Amino acid sequence: MSVTENFKPTIVAFCCNWCSYAGADLSGTNRLQYPANVKIIRIPCSCRLNPMFVLRAFQKGADGVILCGCHPGDCHYTTGNYYARRRMTLLFSLLDFMGIERGRTRVEWVSAAEGAKFAATMNEFTETIMKLGPNRRLEDLRCRKD
Amino acid sequence: MKRIAVENLQSLFAAVSAKKQLYIPADDSAGQAKFTLWSEGTVLTEKLNTVRSAKDLFFPQVENLVNFKVSSKKIEILENRDSSEPFVVFGVRACDCRSFDILDTVFLSDPVDTYYQSRRENGLVITLACNRPAETCFCGVFGIDASDPAGDVTCWMDKAYLYWRANTERGQELTKSLSVLEDCDESSVDAIREASKQILQKLPLNDLDLTDFRENKLLDVFNDSAWGELSESCLGCGTCTFVCPTCQCYDVQDFDNGREVRRFRCWDSCMYSDFTMMAHGTNRPTQKERFRQRFMHKLVYYPNNNNGVFGCVGCGRCLQKCPIHMNIVKVTKKLKEGMV
Amino acid sequence: MRQDPLIPMLGEVTAIRTDTPDVKTFRVMGVDGEKPFVHIPGQCAMLSMPGVGEALFSITSSPTEPYLDFSIKKCGCVTSWLHAMEVGQQITIRGPYGNGFPVDTELAGRDLLFIAGGIGLAPLHSVINYCRHYRDRYGKIDIVYGSRSKDDLVDFPEIENEWCKEAGINVHLTIDNPQEGWDGHVGFVPNFVKELAFDTNKTVLMCGPPIMIKFTLAGLLELGFSREQVYTTMELRMKCALGKCGRCNIGDKYVCKDGPVFRLDQLDELPDEY
Amino acid sequence: MQKRLKEKALELLSNCTVTRVLGWKTGEFFYDLTPAVFETAEEVEKEFVYSGFSGANLSKYLIQESRKQGKVAVFLKPCDSYSFQQLLKEHRILRENVYVVGISCNGLLDMEKIRAQGCEGVTAVTEDGDTLTVDTLYGTTKLSRNDCLLERCAVCKSKKIVAFDELIGEQGEELESNRFDRVAELEAMTPEERFAFWREELSRCIRCNACRNVCPACSCEKCVFDNEKSGVRNKAIADSFEENLFHIIRAFHVAGRCTDCGECSRVCPQNIPLHLLNRKFIKDINEFYGVYQAGADMDTKSPLTDFTLDDCEPSIVHERGGVQG
């Protein structure tokens, strides 16, 4: 897929309240740069991420969706991220099965102390999406901006 | 009457298509027939009929009504009608052709539905007589002659030729513009019609008799004790209503993309649990009431308002497609048991 | 392009009055400042907010007024949105829909008995004020109106200050339970109607919750009224209001087109599905 | 078989083991059987049918039926018994109100497949071993029975009846099935091909919801797609996105609970191979978390309500072979 000129990807990052959201905060206070087109949505736990949220994000114009949660073993609710891990694995695999580009979906475990990792992940993910170009396979034409 | 050799059908389609958009029944990727926009290489199906009826072309499953732009307290109304270009639909069977009459009484009665109206005005219907009706066909019950369907143009086909008869002014106009057609004698189709009639007479559902529904009181049919049993295994899906050529209920919904609101309508089904759902509940709480509504509408309510014409054309789609094989024929026969 | 009846016109809410804790009355005018259309008492209109939804509401004001009023109880999506909105908001409106009450034919010259419960006053309100405007065309007017409490009586000031004071109109108010500051009747509408023992020469116009209608009707029949004397107005889910979308179909009638006003003997011929 | 089932139904009714029998009822033709509740011997005598066309899985009806007065008997084919047990596991069926007669099965027939082989106006189908004699209004044809089996039967996963009170016929075994072959075929395609494949298939969807409503695993009291407030209610498809959304979510909601009974594909009026989405989940679950068959037993935890500390990361999807999209 060719890179569209002037393409500014919209990236939705679902961040767990306890680790990754704080991680994002830390990367901000440390003045680490990550692209402004990453839109963070705070969720109580990575396990809260309903597969429907992922699809709805794509519908409403996201070009990539990333879930950030506590590292396995560190979940505030003990086990939430373990369930999320299975769910997202299966969901991403199904999306891949349906021909939706694998690179558009990702899970990354980011702790509250990993501000640098958060920024790096977002930079890297944005780059991947830049290469993939606009989401065309899982978009709602009615929401297209141009 | 005109004709064209079957091996030249593609040149006929090409000629029509050069003038207007042409839809013909062609096989889809699952091997079932579907009205398809003709382009070079689209081949006429050998199936008797399409899964989705010809109503789709006049009353599509989804269509835009109007757009709104909302900004703080102001609203702007923006035209957003799907454009309707003149088109020709070829290969409509007699049953589907009759269904247009039924849809017309709904959509073209005052106040006229202009979306449907413009498609009707733009659409030229070419019917195709049935040579090999299925066991599920019962259009004859409604006085439809599948060997001589209506429409702007009627066609018959045998192994060698497609015969073509224009019935309306619009049909004649199209005929005149098609040089690929050659003249032939009216009697050319007699043999085809005769053969077709022979088969039509043998159809297993010919004995279906609906006259009792005209004579019995609305409330007696409504209160028949058989409804519970008939509907007990109904899944509440919308298959019957969506493949039905005469079902026309619709829903109006808004879609907000953050910049504007698109108001569209889409098919709805009286079989769905939310069909009559209001803030304080629904007046048809179980599948029995929803199921009954569909058949009462076709067999009693619609005829009551339309000189006894039934809201069914006997195309047999619901017989073939219902997941649990409950259908208007079974309902009719069961209800008749309780009628005097 | 021909204008389709499904495409609404723009309207603006020019006034909002809070009647009860869950009922507000909205005044809707065209964006040109004119009344959007002329209606018959009992008819309805489709109000909508794009993106929220469209719903059918009875027109509360009399056709003799230069505006359209809608008294709306908060209960679903659209109504909640309306309740949260402010004056000056544009909405869309289309109508009028339905048959309305036969104010100039069957009701003309008759003694009228209005029976309303709660928000059921909304459609009758239009008729009552129409009759007041053309007072000489009708006989005696009785109004029975009941609600859960005094605070739930819709548009109480108008009832108290205008209806109650008008000659030839008898207003009978009741609330379900005793309440401080209320010295009127206490009790449910059906019993109240029976207690009042009206003459059976009246034509009855009734609207309210189904349970009230059911018991009041029984009471009326007991008093000697016939079903041909009673009119009521119905409410079902509607989408098109044009008699096409199939939703409000009851028997061979479409409530949006053939109704919402039905005489009870007409309703008797329809399936009990409302 | 028909005779034995009928006798059993009559026996269970007459000795008052049950008050109702859930079975298949005769139709206008030989193939259009309707699931039905039989309450009297007379009804059973007259209308009970078991044939190659008794494809409908009756287990979902038990959610309602087991909550009514009295006990109900039900005939379950091997694959139906998996659905039944899965529903039991989810506490959706009251076991004490159901009497299960397990019936052995040699594969059921698909009228669509018979029609697709050029048989129009079919009036009768006679089974004779591996051959079907199809009488039509236009003559008689012979077809191979194997070519006319329902998809799920053609790749039958198990002849074992996993829950029953009594059996008619032999208890069977789990089979070596090639049911994942088509999934693997798709996996081997490029993402572009897979995308094109699913667009083509799903674009035929008419959102009749038959797949959802027939599914024994779809047993929510109120489906998210029927909830006006969910924002995803749109019953008709206004955009291809909604086709994807509906089918992804439908498949996901039954992931780990789907027994692969194949009803979704059987009822689809547009012949969309919906089972492939469900099977993809099953195949993935088997590969990632160990082989799991929903409904096979009452104890094993469903893979989506379970985890291990060393589960694979979602990035496995990225790292797997095949062309990256």
pLDDT in tens, D1-14: 899 999 999 999 99
Rounded to the nearest angstrom, the minimum Cα separation between C11 and chain B is 9
Tell me, yes or no, whether C93 lies in a domain: yes
Judged against a pLDDT cut of 70, whether residue A17 lies above it is answered with: yes
* C78 and C122 belong to one structural domain: no
Q: What is the pLDDT of residue C210?
A: 84
Which residues of chain A have a CB within 8 Å of the CB of D251? 94
Distance CA D301, CA D89 (A): 10
Higher pLDDT, D285 or C211: D285
Q: Mapping DSSP to helix (H, G, I), strand (E, B) and coil, where does residue C171 land?
A: strand
Same-domain pairing of D168 and D20: yes
Same domain for C165 and C69: no
B111–A contact, CB cutoff 8 A: no
* C248 located within any domain: no
Smallest CA–CA distance from B114 into chain C, residue: C4
Residue B289: CB atoms within 10 Å: 18
* DSSP-derived 3-state class of residue C42: coil
Q: What is the pLDDT of residues B179-206, one digit of tens each?
A: 999 999 999 999 999 999 999 999 999 9
| D98 and D144 fall within a common domain | no
Answer yes or no: is D271 within a domain.
yes
Residue in B109, B222, B244, B252 to test binding to C, most C beta-carbons within 10 Å: B252
Contact C114, C205 (CB under 8 A): yes
**Domain annotation covers residue C62:** yes
D214 in a domain, yes or no?
yes
The ipTM (two decimal places) reads 0.91
Most B CBs within 10 A among A56, A139, A141, A142, hence the mutation to make, goes to: A142
Exposure of C68 by Cβ count < 10 A (0-12 exposed, 13-18 middle, 19+ buried)?
Answer: buried
CB of D237 within 8 Å of any CB in chain B? yes
Interchain contact B233–D (C-beta under 8 A): yes
Residues C122 and C212 in one domain: yes
D178 alpha-carbon distance from chain centroid: 17
Average pLDDT, chain B: 94
| pLDDT of B340 above 90 | no
Residue C174 tokens read as 């009741």
Residue C273 pLDDT class (50, 70, 90 cuts): confident
- Nearest 5 degrees, angle CA C64-CA C65-CA C68? 120
Q: Which domain holds residue D199?
A: 178-312
| Region C214-226 average pLDDT | 91
Predicted TM-score (pTM) of this structure: 0.92
Domains: count for chain D: 3
Within a domain: C149: yes
Same domain, D138 and D202: no
Give the model's pLDDT for residue A64.
97
Point out which residues pair with B124 in neighbouring strands: B88
Same-domain pairing of C59 and C122: no
Do D6 and D41 fall within a single domain? Answer: yes
Residue C119 inside a domain? The answer is yes
Q: Torsion angle of alpha carbons D297, D298, D300, D305, nearest 10°?
A: 130
Domain residues for the domain of C57 are 9-97
Burial annotation D137-171 (CB, 10 A radius, 16+ → b, else e): beeeeebebeebbbbbbbbbbbbbbbbbeeebeee
| CB pair distance less than 8 Å for A142 and B258 | no
What is the C-alpha separation between D75 and D23, in angstroms, rounded?
6
Grade residue B277 by pLDDT with cuts at 50, 70 and 90.
confident
C138 and C216 in a single domain? The answer is yes
B281 confidence band (pLDDT: 50, 70, 90): confident
D48 and D169 share one domain: yes
Whether residue D186 is found in the same domain as residue D299: yes
Measure CB to CB from residue B106 to each of C79, C236, C244 and give the nearest one: C244
Q: Which two tokens stand for residue C188?
A: 């449910």
- Chains A and D, touching by 3 or more CB pairs within 8 angstroms: yes
C-alpha B73/C-alpha B59 separation (Å) is 34
Angstroms from B269 CA to nearest CA on chain C:
9
Is C271 a domain residue?
A: no
DSSP-H helix ranges across chain D: 2-14, 41-47, 61-65, 78-89, 111-116, 151-154, 181-187, 191-202, 210-214, 240-253, 263-267, 275-289, 316-319
pLDDT at residue C2, rounded to an integer: 57
CA distance D198 to chain A (A): 6
Q: What is the pLDDT of residues D86-109, one digit of tens each?
A: 999 999 999 999 999 999 999 999
Q: Tell me the pLDDT of chain C averaged across its residues.
A: 91
What domains can be seen in chain A, in order of their start residue?
A: 11-136 (3.40.50)
Which pLDDT score, from 0 to 100, does residue C229 have? Answer: 92
- The answer on pLDDT for C124 being more than 90 is yes
- Asked if A60's CB is within 8 angstroms of B255's CB, the reply is no
| pLDDT classification of D322: cutoffs 50, 70, 90 | low
Check whether residue C34 and residue C126 sit in a common domain: no
Any bridge partners for residue D48, and if so which?
D25
Q: How high is the pLDDT of residue A129?
A: 95
Model confidence band, residue D127 (pLDDT cutoffs 50, 70, 90):
very high
Q: Which residues of A touch D314 (CB under 8 A)?
A: 85, 88-89, 92, 105-107
Residue D268 lies in a domain: yes
In a domain, D203, yes or no: yes
Q: Do C52 and C77 fall within a single domain?
A: yes
CATH of the domain at C42: 2.40.30.10
Is residue C213 one of the residues assigned to a domain? yes
Q: Are D92 and D116 within one domain?
A: no
Residue D317 falls inside a structural domain = no
Chain A CB contacts of D308 under 8 Å are: 82
Quick one: D228 and D265 in the same domain? yes
Q: How far is CA A129 from CA A34, A56, A64, in A?
A: 14, 18, 6
B309: closest CA of chain A, how far (Å)? 41
Contacts of B296 in chain C (CB under 8 A): 251, 271
Is D320 domain-assigned? no
Report residue B187 as tokens: 């009697």
Positive or negative, the CA dihedral D216, D222, D225, D230 is negative
Instruction: Judge if D104 and D120 occupy the same domain.
Output: no
- Tell me which residues of chain B, numbers 156 to 215, contact chain C at a CB-CB cutoff of 8 Å: none
How many whole angstroms separate alpha carbon D64 and alpha carbon D69?
A: 11
Is C65 part of any domain?
Answer: yes
Residue A4: pLDDT over 60:
no
Residues D128 and D93 in one domain: no
* CATH, residue C207: 3.40.50.80
Number of compact structural domains in chain C: 2
Other CB atoms within a 10 A radius of the CB of residue C199 amount to 12
Q: For residue A1, what pLDDT is reported?
A: 44
Judging contacts by C-beta atoms under 8 Å, the chain D residues touching residue B239 are: 206, 208, 210, 267, 269
Residue D321 has pLDDT above 70, yes or no: no
Write out pLDDT tens, residues A83-108.
Answer: 999 999 999 999 999 999 999 999 99
pLDDT at D325: 46
Beta strands in chain B (DSSP E): 2-5, 21-27, 33-37, 62-71, 74-79, 87-92, 123-128, 153-157, 161-166, 182-183, 250-256, 261-267, 277-278, 281-282
Please name the residue of chain C whose CA is at the shortest distance from the CA of residue B263.
Answer: C50
Mean pLDDT of B203-228: 91
Whether D241 and D248 have beta carbons less than 8 Å apart is answered as: no
Estimate to the nearest angstrom the gap between the alpha carbon of C24 and the chain centroid.
Answer: 14
User: Would the pLDDT of C268 be above 50?
Assistant: yes
Q: For chain B, first and last CA: distance in Å?
A: 48
Average pLDDT over residues C154-176: 89
